[in-house]
Chain A
Amino acid sequence: MVIKMDIVFSDEVKKAIEGKGLKVDDIKKVIEGAEASNDKITNGSKFIAKKVLGDVTVYADYSVGGSITVNSGYAHKMKLQDIVMDTADSEWTYVKNGKKIRKGHTNLSFMGATRSAPSLVDPASGESWLEEYLAAKTIAVAEMLFSQKRA
């Protein structure tokens, strides 16, 4: 049984999410989906969950107490593909299967090009997650460069 908790966004977090061109409602969708399916990773103090909405993979970074507090939301347009390698244990655990998440590299493809980027991976399920610093920086710039190409 799923207990529906309130999802709380501070004004600051809300502004940051909207500033990235994301909708607060989409972040809610990601969290609701993750809470219902346990498809999320945790480091003991908070969770990261992702969901593909249209062409975009949207991430929610949130904490659960009396209610759900959203720490951040971010997204990338690149599609996560296969895991290229995993190198070391991370502080994260995949709630869905209880496995330890590893640090690794995952292929990301966008507009016909595939290159890798550092990621959090679960080799057992083949799932990968991008951390925010990467999605918001390197990957965002690469997406911008590629979108300029468009042709």
Chain B
Amino acid sequence: MEKIGETSALCPVCLKTIKATKVAENDKVYIVKECPEHGKWKVQIWSGSEHYKYLYEFAAVQKPPQKFAVKEMKDCPQDCGLCNEHKQQTCLNVVEVTNLCNMNCPICFATANGCGYKYHPSLDEIKKMFQTVVDNVKSPRVVQLSGGEPTIRDDLPEIIKMAKDMGIEHIEVNTNALRISEDMEYLKALADAGMDSFYFQFDGIDDNIYLQTRGRPMFDVKKKAIENCGIVGVGVTLVVTVSPNINLDHVGKIIEFAGLNVPTVKGVHFQPITYFGRYPIEPTDKDRVTLPDLANAIEKQTMGMLKADNFLPTSCSNVHCDMKSLSIVMEDGSLFPLTTMALGPPVKTDDIADKTRTEVSKFWRFIEETMDGPSGSEDKTWRSFISRAKTHYLTVSAMAFQDVWTGEVERWERCCIHMVTPDGKLIPFCLFNCTAADGRTIYRRKAFCGN
């Protein structure tokens, strides 16, 4: 057993901050922690200990936030807001506009149905949260409207327009796709209001999966909604909660489906399952998927078309939080990956938050500027390859949210994905959603219902 690092973590029972160590054993990385009152835990957080250590070389020179709500932090992650010790500024702001939903999914952690209180802020309250973003986060500002199900709000177009008017450049809407599959007028209103893209819950291309995750068949709904988005010209990122017991063996098919649906589908974003909410029986390592496990499953199921090596950490938050690849989708539907670990750690990693925000768009703008030669529709030319690259690309990415068992301060204090609270705070997204084993939240309930 080799010790890799020391950090702090949460006791899954009392939610107090406790010491934790990270150790490598049999090529796996574990977080080991002990609460003097409630016992000891050892939970797997990574597969491949050398890879885990090597990734630190991709870490960015980080940019702390310019403003913070908590001036004197004593105990991370209990004094969150952000605080004066936080190490990375915000890339993505999540604003919850309701906790009501038009579905009742067995795996949801956010909705009113499970938590016993209603949260449905007024336009003024939402405006206040947008103001928090404008005041604390540098341009370009990206906001994800989330819930609950944001599209149950008829005033969502108004909310989007308000955000844009306040100087928020990019708005994505998290959705289960139900309403946009059947309400074209509403979808158009969202697009007209300036919405940029959908963050689109998608668990697989097989209704057996939806029956388990959502309690009803949904694949036709998803297909119809994607078709509608294509008509109004709104991009879609498929967001897949990956569970080893449900759909880990479907990730290849999901990527294939995404490739066939570019350019409407812009990306697939995998989220290995986390355990928020009440869990009478503690989840075991078998109930989890680490990022390397996911990358290997993708390599295997895509027959090596997309390899584990094509995934790089975005180096924006913590190198162990996420991974991302970018591919061109060729005429025959195959992927042509542009990213690879072989590129090595970035040479200049400062200002990385700014970089991730603009890098990709800059890259494509560069391609656009070089496309001004005589046009040709010839197939199999280098020109058509480039035009394809411009429109038919697919990002495949993943973020491993942390829960009360896997969570660690080393990652939270570098988080760049922040929940905006009604009282003007920014809190790392997965920390915000953390709950004790009995379902008690550390932040969510306090923020949204005041007790």
A interface vs B, CB < 8 Å? 78, 105, 108, 115-118, 133-134, 137-142, 145, 148-151
Closest CB in chain A relative to B296 CB, distance in Å: 16
Task: Give Cα A10–Cα B310 distance, bound, in whole angstroms.
Answer: 44
Report chain B residues within 8 Å CB of A140: 370
Report chain A residues within 8 Å CB of B338: 145, 148-149
Question: 8 additional contacts, CB 8 Å, given A115-B382, A138-B383, A148-B343?
Answer: A118-B374, A137-B373, A138-B373, A138-B382, A140-B370, A142-B386, A145-B338, A151-B310
Closest CB in chain A relative to B79 CB, distance in Å: 42
Contacts between the two chains (Cβ within 8 Å), count: 63
In the assembled complex, B57 has its CB within 8 A of some CB on chain A: no
Report chain B residues within 8 Å CB of A139: 382
Report chain B residues within 8 Å CB of A138: 370-371, 373, 382-383, 386
Q: How large is the interface on B (under 10, 10 to 19, 20 to 34, 35 or more residues)?
A: 20 to 34
Cβ-defined contact, A137 with B340, below 8 A = no
- Cβ-closest chain B residue relative to A140: B370
Within 8 A of A (CB), among B331-350: 336-340, 342-343
- Cβ-closest chain A residue relative to B339: A148
Cβ-defined contact, A141 with B381, below 8 A = no
Task: Give Cα A78–Cα B340 distance, bound, in whole angstroms.
Answer: 21
In the assembled complex, B380 has its CB within 8 A of some CB on chain A: yes
Task: Give Cα A51–Cα B378 distance, bound, in whole angstroms.
Answer: 28
Task: Give Cα A140–Cα B373 distance, bound, in whole angstroms.
Answer: 13
Task: Give Cα A16–Cα B321 distance, bound, in whole angstroms.
Answer: 43
Between B371, B378, B382, B386, the greatest number of chain A beta carbons within 10 A of the residue's beta carbon is seen for B382
Cβ-defined contact, A115 with B376, below 8 A = no
Cβ-defined contact, B373 with A133, below 8 A = yes
Cβ-defined contact, A150 with B340, below 8 A = yes
Cβ-defined contact, A137 with B372, below 8 A = yes
B interface vs A, CB < 8 Å? 307, 309-310, 328, 336-340, 342-343, 366-367, 370-374, 376, 378, 380-386, 389
- Cβ-closest chain A residue relative to B367: A141
- Cβ-closest chain B residue relative to A151: B340
Cβ-defined contact, A151 with B307, below 8 A = yes
Cβ-defined contact, A142 with B376, below 8 A = no
Task: Give Cα A105–Cα B382 distance, bound, in whole angstroms.
Answer: 11
Pairs A-B, 4 closest by C-beta atoms = A151-B340, A137-B370, A148-B338, A142-B382
Given A142-B386, A150-B342, A151-B340: A116 and B371 interface contact (C-beta under 8 Å):
no
Report chain A residues within 8 Å CB of B371: 137-138, 141
Given A108-B382, A116-B378, A116-B382: A150 and B343 interface contact (C-beta under 8 Å):
yes
Report chain B residues within 8 Å CB of A78: 382
- Cβ-closest chain B residue relative to A117: B382
Which of A118, A133, A145, A148 sits near B376, CB closer than 8 Å?
A118
- Cβ-closest chain B residue relative to A116: B381
Which of B307, B328, B340, B380 sits near A145, CB closer than 8 Å?
B328
Which of B307, B342, B370, B380 sits near A141, CB closer than 8 Å?
B370
Closest CB in chain A relative to B165 CB, distance in Å: 36
Task: Give Cα A140–Cα B370 distance, bound, in whole angstroms.
Answer: 9
Cβ-defined contact, B342 with A145, below 8 A = no
Closest CB in chain B relative to A133 CB, distance in Å: 5
Cβ-defined contact, A151 with B376, below 8 A = no
Cβ-defined contact, B386 with A141, below 8 A = yes
Task: Give Cα A115–Cα B340 distance, bound, in whole angstroms.
Answer: 23
Task: Give Cα A93–Cα B189 distance, bound, in whole angstroms.
Answer: 60
Closest CB in chain A relative to B33 CB, distance in Å: 38
Cβ-defined contact, A115 with B380, below 8 A = yes
Closest CB in chain A relative to B133 CB, distance in Å: 33
Closest CB in chain B relative to A82 CB, distance in Å: 14
Task: Give Cα A149–Cα B310 distance, bound, in whole angstroms.
Answer: 9
- Cβ-closest chain A residue relative to B372: A137
Closest CB in chain B relative to A80 CB, distance in Å: 12
Report chain A residues within 8 Å CB of B382: 78, 108, 115-117, 138-139, 142
- Cβ-closest chain B residue relative to A149: B338
Report chain A residues within 8 Å CB of B307: 151
Report chain A residues within 8 Å CB of B370: 137-138, 140-141
Would you mind naming 30 contact pairs between A and B with Cβ atoms under 8 Å apart? Answer: A105-B378, A105-B381, A115-B380, A115-B381, A115-B382, A117-B382, A118-B376, A133-B373, A137-B370, A137-B371, A137-B372, A138-B370, A138-B373, A138-B382, A140-B370, A141-B366, A141-B370, A145-B328, A145-B338, A145-B385, A145-B389, A148-B338, A148-B343, A149-B336, A149-B338, A150-B340, A150-B342, A150-B343, A151-B340, A151-B342
